[in-house]
Structures are given as structure tokens and as C-alpha cells.
Amino acid sequence: MDNSKKAWKLINGGIAVPKGFYATGVQAGIKYMDQYDVALIFSEVQAQAVAVYTRNLVKAHPLYLTQRHLENGLARAIVINSGNANACVGEFGDQAAFAMAEVAGTFLAVPPEDVLVASTGVIGVEMPLDKVLNGIRVASSLLLNDVVKGIRGQKEEADEGAHRAALAIMTTDTMVKEYAYELSCSEGGVIHLGAIAKGSGMIHPNMGTMLGFLTTDAFLPSEDLQRILREAVEESFNMVTVDGDTSTNDMVILMANGASGITLSVEDRTNFEEMVKSMCIELAKDIARDGEGATKLMEVSVSGAKTKEDARKIARSICGSSLVKAALFGEDANWGRILTAAGYSGAEFNPNKVDVFLGKLIVAQAGKGVTFSEEEAKVILALKEVHISLNLHSGEEQATAWGCDLTHEYVTINGSYRT
């Protein structure tokens, strides 16, 4: 990640790097005995909090609870479990989601309404609530010990639990997704942004088909945070696809507790917005890179579009094409599949003007194939990160989307997900 020309820099750590935030994760045995599966994120002070949710009509019980708890734009904690989605299980699901908030709130001495809840895992199966609640009790105890360490000036030691939180939200993920940024402010001092995310399967652009959590010690009103988050999601999580499936539990939450004590200037606020967007893009790329069974990250850039929405539609359509994804896996420079996917995207453009590139190698010009080196194309397609670009020559707008190849392993993973 190149931060050389940005106002912020990448630093070690994750979700608990911002001042006043703590996090931990524990093994509760929800689905597997040796896997972290309950995470807890906590702010020492009341935080402004906002979220963006899945657009799937079928929504999980914790999502509805979190929506209600965020009506006032405030929160102190987030409790997350993996291994069970707590979705489509009737009244039990509503009771289980509230019980998670209530137990976390009791141990952390905050009202349950200040606790947000997220779950991920198998849909349609009642969660083993006793295991989940016991995990929350253990996590709360560990987290409170970390808060004491932080008060004693041992914040770095306390932050070790944050990595366990990143592990605890994973399901079929093969890599931890966590980052921390530090922004130097124009009048001195720094603010921090931390984040963790999970996502590997059931990923498609329709509001971030995954779970993502961001914390910052900056202060911004919840109305401003909501706009910032929505705009960041549009450029990141809504531009990533793995398999075309949008899940029931997807949400991204951003909490800002103002613990830095810094008042952001106009310049600082602009940089902060760009930093949030950059963070979300890095997480989105990690999700695409970690797609179930994937061997390659696919980045599709579209330029020369009449409108931003046209560019987005085409980039997403290509990333989502099963035929393009299969060709990527087989390292086949089948550019016709790329142009075809653009054609059914719903975007307005002239096919007879489009240039198509694999990396820097042009494979089609003005809508027609050109002579190119198959050997050079093979080398490009063998890379772990493959860049596909299209110039529509129809306007000034552009967009980028991310996806991955489609492999035999994807079918293997999803053929036995419940068991």
C-alpha cells in the first residue's frame, strides 16, 4: 500500500489503535472448538455511530436490532459472533440478538441500547445461545482487564486483544483483514482510524456483502459520519464481488468517540474522508483477494464513460461474470467475454469505440480484436493480481471494481458449508 503522497500513513495495529477503543476475541465453541468466534469492541466514552446495511429483503435478527439501537446515532460497544448468522429463525433470533446486547451491556456497565450486534455464519439454524453468551462474558472480562492496562499506560499491551477480535469474525476467510491509519492534523496532533472486516463468500455489490467495523478517535457528528461512510462504501464494498450472492447479515459500522480531543480543520476533514475511503477500499480488495477458493485478485477499471454510474455498472458486471472469472482462472485471454459482460451491464456506451487491455497489453481496439502476443497475455494472467481496463471513449467518468477468479475449490467449499 503506497501512502507516500497521502496525509495519513499505515501503522501497526487494527481496530483498537484509536484512543479510547479496546477490542478482544475469544473461542466460545460456537461451531468449532479451536476457532475464535466471539469479538467485542468497546469505547471508553460515548461514540457517534453510524452503519450501512445489506439491501437484501431477507435480513438477520441482529441487523434489525442494530438499526434500532442506532436511531439516536450513539453507541459504546459492538458484539460480534461467527459460526452462526442468527438469521431466519423467528422470535428466537430476536431474543438471542437482544440477549447478546444485554449481557455485553451488563458486564461493560452500559445500557443494552448502546450495544450493537452482528453475526455471521450459517443461516436458518438457531444459535447455541448459551455458548455465545458465555463467550461474551469471557470476552467482557478480558476487555475490562485491557481497559485497566490502558489506564495504567499499557495501551500497547492491551491492544493485543484486537487481533483476536479480527480472528473471531472470520468464517471461511483465509486471511485476517485489519488495518490502522494515522493522520497528522494541520494544526498539530494526530487522529487514528482502525478497522477489521470479514468476507470471503456471498460477496456481491449491494451494500458491502460482508461485515466491516471502523473506529476513530476523531469527532464528527453522526450526520456527517453517515454521509462519509455511505460515500466510502459506494467506492469500495459496493464495488467488490466474489460470487454474485448478497447475504442477510451484511453491515459496516463506523464509530467516532472524539477521544483525540482534536477539532478538525476543513483540510483535516477532507483528509479524514479520503482516509476512510482508502481504508474501505483496502478492506474491499482484501475480501476479493480472499474470495472462496480464489487464486487471483481481479481489478477492473473503466474510463471514458458518460456517467459515473455507467462506469460502475460495467466494472461490476465484468467482475461478476462467471465466464470472465473462469477465463481468469484458466489464464485464457478471452477478451470477448469481457466486452460481452460490459454489454449486458445496463450501461449506455458505443461498443464500436471500446478498447480493452490486460495489464498494459491491448487485446481489442474500437470494439474489434487486434493481434497480440498470447505468450505475453499468459504471463499477465498468471499474476496473482490481474488488471483489466476498458476505455469507452464516450466521456470523462471512471470507476474501479474488484473480484476474483472462479475455481473448483469454490464449489468444494460451498458444497459442504453447513457441515
**Which residues are marked as active site?**
209
| Residue 312: closest CA among 334, 342, 335 | 342
- Phi and psi of 197, rounded to 5°? -150, 160
CA distance 310 to 312: 5
User: Where does residue 273 rank: exposed (0-12), middle (13-18), buried (19+ CB within 10 A)?
Assistant: middle
Question: In the 3-class helix/strand/coil scheme, how is 208-219 assigned residue by residue?
Answer: CCCEEEEEECCC
* Residue found by looking up cell 476523531 in the block: 218
Q: From the CA atom positions of the chain, what is the Rg in Å?
A: 22
**Dihedral sign computed on CA atoms, order 228, 229, 234, 237:** positive
Is residue 191 within 8 Å of residue 272, measured between CB atoms? yes
* Residue found by looking up cell 453468551 in the block: 133
Is residue 137 within 8 Å of residue 107, measured between CB atoms? yes
Looking at this protein, which amino acid is placed at residue 245?
D
CA distance 192 to 17: 7
Is residue 243 within 8 Å of residue 202, measured between CB atoms? yes
How many angstroms separate the Cα of 348 from the Cα of each of 267, 351, 374?
36, 9, 31
Beta strands in 86-185 (DSSP E): 115-122, 177-184
- Which DSSP letter does residue 356 get? E
CA distance 197 to 344: 31
